[in-house]
């Protein structure tokens, strides 16, 4: 499927690939791994032809299609579902051709539409969108109404729906919550074509791929199996290389000792020269240098507070209008490790803001006045001033300290001397995340709130963060799509659902089953959008009905279709009204009326379509 032969590429003053080769077969699911900055995203750009190699070749079948998620989808007025459906270009082209095709060409177009399964496309697109967190109501919304993060999910949905021969995904779980990451893992595992995935999500690399492509020292090595198997094979290879290197070193030392002892003696000169040649022929085994991973510095609170740190009794919280979360009855103690679960938009970030003091609760909330909170959220990295430097940032955090102490603290954070005065814009995402994570914990808080802390961190850095969190003795509230981190750190799970938070009775495996079962229920055919534009059925042969009767029935169907559109528009207005969800019973009634109007419209459209085709067939014959 993809053959990389003796690839050489130099850019930005360094060599990314030096005679690198790899072969990825058709249908393979491959995880591309390597330390941050080694050139993984650069390899994607080379595969797509955006960069030109300095040597070697990247070869694919001539007709092969490459799909990737490079940027968020544009904010257009086109509805979400139609945007994703357009990703299958042949289907879109054929449907468009129906509008102007000559009668004699219709049969061929319909035959091709049937061959590519065009009638199933709306349900398939809806299933992908549901898996990525979109609701049924979202499918009709225009793209312009979605934020950048959600439009990035649309771009991913379009890439998955298009089913290219080679799918390239660069850190796909960074755009997703835990629920979306679990769904994506299952989806990639079943993907019918080849996929190459850059990821630091260990669970994705263990559950969805069958090979690992390791990029290190400007070389590519392909390992069969998932990431756990790759680690085992790499460790074994390191052990064998070390043993071989030791044997060669011992042999070299033995030969050299002979030369040193007898090299000056005439009787032994020829033997000494022979041994010097043998030393020169001994192959060097390049040592595998594993770069050190700087630890995270998460100092524990020096003095514990009396329990509880915080208690909520019948509390609610929101942003001034109707509460986002209500009936909160929760308690947090110093030794708690809480994993917060729930789909995007359910209120996880709202709860984090409440605990961080950014929002005020209505109702009963008690907390220790001495409570110190360290809060890391995923948007802090984006909010950094690109012209700032780590030294300037820590000067503000340590105003009383001298620069030597500040530099020493940055060194503890893993910031090397050449990075201390580097502009934030020139730091990698991992370096910025590491800096901020250490900063929020610098004052030894009693409670650490971490919202997606592993975005931009490589696998080794994630392991270092996990180790630091387990050594930290304060309380932790963790929101993350990284299942491994959640399993290793959290000892209790809380689920945000239905406007409140409750303990989740089970572990992460139970929650994974819960999420995938919900996705399967949402993707059943009866839940597919009734308003999606189906593939028009083939024109039926002219029935015994007269053309005038068909024309009359068609006019009646057009009237029913107009009224159905009006009823749906009225239902949508009621659904968008500010008080639509003021009471559960009202919300249920409004939603049921909307669903009924949408179903009526689908039936009216189907009736009109069938009569229109009969009318057209009658005119042709």
Is residue 281 situated within a structural domain?
no
Separation CA 520–CA 90 (nearest Å): 27
Mean pLDDT across the stretch 227-255?
75
Q: Are residues 572 and 500 in the same domain?
A: no
Q: Are residues 476 and 603 in the same domain?
A: no
Is residue 473 situated within a structural domain?
yes
Is residue 96 situated within a structural domain?
no
- SS percent in the chain: helix, strand, coil, step 5: 50, 20, 35
Mean pLDDT across the stretch 498-518?
87
Do residues 81 and 140 make contact, with C-beta atoms less than 8 angstroms apart?
yes
Q: Are residues 568 and 486 in the same domain?
A: no
Do residues 167 and 191 make contact, with C-beta atoms less than 8 angstroms apart?
yes
User: pTM score, two decimals?
Assistant: 0.69
Is residue 113 situated within a structural domain?
no
Separation CA 21–CA 5 (nearest Å): 5
Mean pLDDT across the stretch 451-466?
87
Residue 372 pLDDT grade (very low, low, confident, very high; cuts 50, 70, 90) = very high
Look at residues 211, 231, 251 and tell me which one is the last residue of a structural domain: 231
Look at residues 231, 256, 288 and tell me which one is the last residue of a structural domain: 231
Separation CA 11–CA 32 (nearest Å): 20
Look at residues 440, 471, 505 and tell me which one is the last residue of a structural domain: 505
Q: Are residues 498 and 553 in the same domain?
A: no
Q: What is the pLDDT of residue 109?
A: 87
The model's pLDDT over 169-188, given as tens digits with 9 standing for 90+, comes to: 998 988 788 888 888 998 99
3-class state of residue 513 by DSSP: helix
Higher per-residue pLDDT: 615 or 59: 59
The C-alpha angle 500, 131, 47, rounded to 5 degrees, equals 135
- Please check the confidence at residue 621 and state whether its pLDDT lies above 90: no
Separation CA 589–CA 363 (nearest Å): 29
Q: Are residues 182 and 37 in the same domain?
A: yes
Separation CA 98–CA 102 (nearest Å): 8
Closest CA to 590 of 615, 607, 573: 573
Lowest mean pLDDT among 143-157, 279-293, 493-507: 279-293
Element (H, E) at 214: strand 211-216
Lowest mean pLDDT among 101-110, 153-162, 240-249: 240-249
State how far the alpha carbon of 554 is from the alpha carbons of 308, 487, 538, 608, in Å.
71, 60, 18, 6
Q: Are residues 77 and 215 in the same domain?
A: yes
- Please check the confidence at residue 526 and state whether its pLDDT lies above 90: no
312, exposed or middle or buried, with CB in 10 Å at 0-12, 13-18, 19+? buried
Lowest mean pLDDT among 84-98, 163-177, 513-527: 513-527
Separation CA 321–CA 315 (nearest Å): 15
First-residue to last-residue Cα distance in the chain: 49
Is residue 327 situated within a structural domain?
yes
Do residues 406 and 439 make contact, with C-beta atoms less than 8 angstroms apart?
no
Which tokens sit at 364?
């009963």
Q: Are residues 76 and 173 in the same domain?
A: yes
Element (H, E) at 243: helix 227-262
Q: Are residues 493 and 561 in the same domain?
A: no
Lowest mean pLDDT among 19-28, 164-173, 566-575: 566-575
- Please check the confidence at residue 407 and state whether its pLDDT lies above 50: yes
- Please check the confidence at residue 213 and state whether its pLDDT lies above 80: yes
- Please check the confidence at residue 530 and state whether its pLDDT lies above 60: no
Is residue 493 situated within a structural domain?
yes
Mean pLDDT across the stretch 10-14?
85
Higher per-residue pLDDT: 507 or 594: 507
Mean pLDDT of the chain: 82
Q: Are residues 452 and 571 in the same domain?
A: no
State how far the alpha carbon of 507 is from the alpha carbons of 131, 448, 499, in Å.
21, 22, 22
Separation CA 68–CA 273 (nearest Å): 59
Could you say which DSSP state residue 443 is in? T
% pLDDT > 70, the chain:
81
The model's pLDDT over 30-68, given as tens digits with 9 standing for 90+, comes to: 999 988 778 898 999 999 999 999 999 999 998 899 999
Q: Are residues 456 and 577 in the same domain?
A: no
Q: Are residues 216 and 146 in the same domain?
A: yes
| Cβ-Cβ contacts under 8 Å for 492 (sequence gap 6 or more) | 336, 337, 338, 339, 503
Higher per-residue pLDDT: 179 or 270: 179
Mean pLDDT across the stretch 441-450?
92
The model's pLDDT over 553-577, given as tens digits with 9 standing for 90+, comes to: 767 777 777 777 777 777 767 766 6
Which tokens sit at 232?
């085992």
- Please check the confidence at residue 580 and state whether its pLDDT lies above 70: no
Which tokens sit at 617?
């067939």
State how far the alpha carbon of 34 is from the alpha carbons of 15, 31, 214, 317, 430, in Å.
15, 10, 6, 43, 13
Element (H, E) at 435: helix 429-440
294, exposed or middle or buried, with CB in 10 Å at 0-12, 13-18, 19+? middle
Mean pLDDT across the stretch 502-520?
84
Domain that holds residue 565: 547-620
- Please check the confidence at residue 508 and state whether its pLDDT lies above 60: yes
Q: What is the pLDDT of residue 255?
A: 64
Provide φ and ψ at 181, rounded to 5°: -65, -40
Q: What is the pLDDT of residue 493?
A: 93
Closest CA to 296 of 422, 488, 478, 453: 453
The model's pLDDT over 139-155, given as tens digits with 9 standing for 90+, comes to: 999 999 988 888 899 99
Q: How many domains does the chain have?
A: 3
Q: Are residues 551 and 471 in the same domain?
A: no
CATH number at residue 461: 3.40.50.300
Mean pLDDT across the stretch 22-27?
91
Q: What is the pLDDT of residue 100?
A: 85
């Amino acid at each position: 499927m993809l053959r990389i032969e003796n690839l050489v590429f130099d850019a930005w003053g360094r060599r990314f690939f030096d005679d690198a080769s790899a072969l990825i077969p058709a249908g393979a699911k491959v995880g591309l791994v390597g330390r941050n900055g080694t050139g993984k995203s650069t390899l994607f750009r080379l595969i797509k032809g955006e960069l030109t190699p300095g040597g070697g070749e990247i070869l694919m079948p001539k007709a092969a299609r490459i799909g990737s998620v490079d940027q968020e989808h544009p904010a257009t007025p086109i509805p979400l579902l139609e945007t994703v459906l357009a990703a299958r270009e042949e289907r879109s082209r054929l449907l468009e051709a129906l509008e102007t095709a000559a009668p004699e060409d219709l049969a061929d177009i319909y035959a091709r539409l049937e061959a590519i399964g065009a009638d199933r496309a709306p349900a398939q697109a809806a299933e992908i969108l549901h898996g990525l967190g979109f609701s049924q109501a979202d499918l009709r919304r225009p793209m312009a109404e979605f934020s950048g993060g959600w439009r990035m999910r649309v771009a991913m949905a379009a890439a998955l729906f298009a089913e290219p021969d080679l799918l390239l995904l660069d850190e796909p779980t960074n755009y997703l919550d835990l629920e979306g990451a679990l769904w994506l893992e299952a989806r990639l595992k079943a993907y019918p074509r080849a996929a190459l995935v850059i990821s630091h999500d260990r669970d994705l690399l263990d559950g969805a791929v069958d090979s690992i492509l390791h990029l290190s020292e400007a070389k590519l090595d392909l390992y069969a199996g998932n990431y756990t198997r790759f680690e085992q094979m790499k460790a074994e290879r390191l052990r064998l290389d070390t043993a071989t290197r030791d044997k060669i070193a011992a042999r070299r030392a033995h030969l050299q000792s002979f030369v040193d002892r007898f090299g000056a003696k005439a009787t032994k000169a020829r033997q000494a020269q022979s041994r010097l040649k043998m030393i020169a022929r001994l192959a060097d085994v390049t040592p595998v240098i594993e770069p050190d991973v700087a630890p995270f510095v998460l100092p524990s609170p020096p003095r514990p507070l009396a329990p509880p740190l915080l208690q909520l009794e019948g509390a609610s919280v929101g942003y001034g209008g109707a509460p986002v979360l209500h009936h909160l009855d929760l308690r947090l103690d110093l030794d708690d490790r809480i994993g917060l679960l729930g789909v995007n938009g359910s209120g996880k970030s709202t709860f984090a803001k409440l605990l961080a003091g950014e929002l005020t609760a209505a109702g009963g909330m008690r907390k220790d006045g001495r409570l110190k909170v360290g809060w890391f959220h995923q948007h802090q990295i984006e909010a950094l001033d690109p012209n700032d430097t780590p030294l300037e940032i820590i000067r503000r955090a340590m105003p009383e300290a001298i620069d030597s102490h500040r530099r020493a603290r940055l060194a503890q954070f893993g910031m090397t001397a050449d990075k201390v005065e580097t502009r934030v814009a020139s730091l990698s995402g991992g370096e910025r995340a590491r800096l901020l994570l250490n900063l929020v914990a610098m004052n030894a808080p009693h409670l650490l709130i971490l919202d997606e802390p592993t975005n931009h961190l490589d696998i080794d850095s994630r392991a270092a963060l996990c180790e630091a969190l387990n050594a930290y003795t304060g309380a932790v509230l963790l929101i993350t799509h990284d299942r491994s981190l959640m399993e290793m750190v959290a000892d209790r799970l809380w689920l945000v659902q239905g406007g409140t938070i409750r303990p989740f009775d089970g572990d992460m495996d139970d929650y994974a089953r819960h999420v995938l079962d919900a996705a399967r229920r949402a993707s059943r055919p009866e839940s597919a959008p009734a308003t999606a534009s189906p593939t028009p059925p083939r024109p039926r042969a002219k029935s015994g009905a007269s053309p005038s009767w068909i024309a009359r029935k068609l006019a009646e169907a057009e009237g029913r279709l107009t009224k159905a559109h009006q009823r749906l528009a009225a239902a949508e207005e009621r659904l968008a009204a500010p008080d639509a969800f003021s009471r559960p019973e009202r919300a249920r009634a409004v939603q049921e009326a909307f669903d009924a109007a949408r179903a009526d419209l689908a039936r009216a459209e189907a009736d009109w379509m069938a009569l229109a085709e009969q009318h057209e067939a009658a005119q042709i014959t």
